[in-house]
Amino acid sequence: MLDILPFLTQLHESFQRVNNRIKKYLKDPKAKNIHDLRTSIRRLDAAYSTLPKKYRTGSSTSTYILSCKELFRINSEIRDLDIIYEKLQKYPPNDSRNKIIDSLKGTRVTKLEYAKNIALALNNTDASKLLDEIKVTQKELEKRYNKIVANLISKIETNFPIVITDSTKIEELHDLRKDCKKLRYMLELLPIENKKASEMRKTLQKIQDSLGLIHDYDFTINHLALNEQPSNEVREIVNNEMQERKLSYEGFLRFCTRRLHMSPDSFLIRIRSFNSTLESSSV
């Protein structure tokens, strides 16, 4: 069950964490600070999305959250560019590779400038006052929380059987990764003593990490494939990335069969059971 007082404390801490990490990001937008900022925004969004609709629309808090989500979006794009750059560093220098790297650097500079402008505006907002307008009841909180969790579990139940039977379902793989991540952050809002939630978070983290590697390959391959008349060197890089992507997908399948207790249905059984437990605890 989601208790209101610990929840409000977490919500306050999430606002403060985002505020602190924005300051670090503005001082030095290196990869670690980008990662930490994105993580803090995810946790804030998970907590904030649990509030009733009246707090999520048309308020100063909702405006702040929307800006945070835009900052998250653009930094996710920057992070993806950095991933491609890191992957390209593995390959011998050549004109085609170097041209792509130069393009990545130029695009990164432009996106970073836009992101820093958003961060500056957020940095000038007194986040501590945003919570003053929130007056939520235990019943409202539980109803909204259970609805979000049930919806995420439904999406996972839909996509999980698809992605473990077809490696080409890129959109479903990407959606499953995002939903596992969102559900994991939602479960962090529950009391730490909730062992079932803790175990489920660990499983979701491992699934998310495996799918994250596959996503990085998919994004890289797609970006390189957009080059008009790719050179032989670029085609070779794409082929290598596709092969490594295949190995990562096979690793994901091994995890699903070995660690999710052999049957692909077992994870779904566990996640349905967890949802039923959550619903019964709020009755």
CA pair distance 44, 66, nearest whole angstrom: 11
CA atoms 185, 190, 194, 197: torsion sign: negative
Spatial CA neighbour of 43 closest among 79, 78, 69, 5: 69
Q: What pTM does this model have?
A: 0.88
CA pair distance 1, 184, nearest whole angstrom: 15
Return the pLDDT at 116.
Answer: 97
Q: Is 189 exposed, middle or buried (0-12, 13-18, 19+ CB in 10 A)?
A: buried
Q: Where are the alpha helices (DSSP H) in 95-230?
A: 95-123, 138-163, 170-187, 195-225
3-state secondary structure of 79: helix
**What does the pLDDT look like over 179-202, one tens digit per residue?**
999 999 999 998 777 788 888 888
Spatial CA neighbour of 122 closest among 43, 38, 22, 28: 22
Residues of the chain with pLDDT under 50: 262, 264, 283
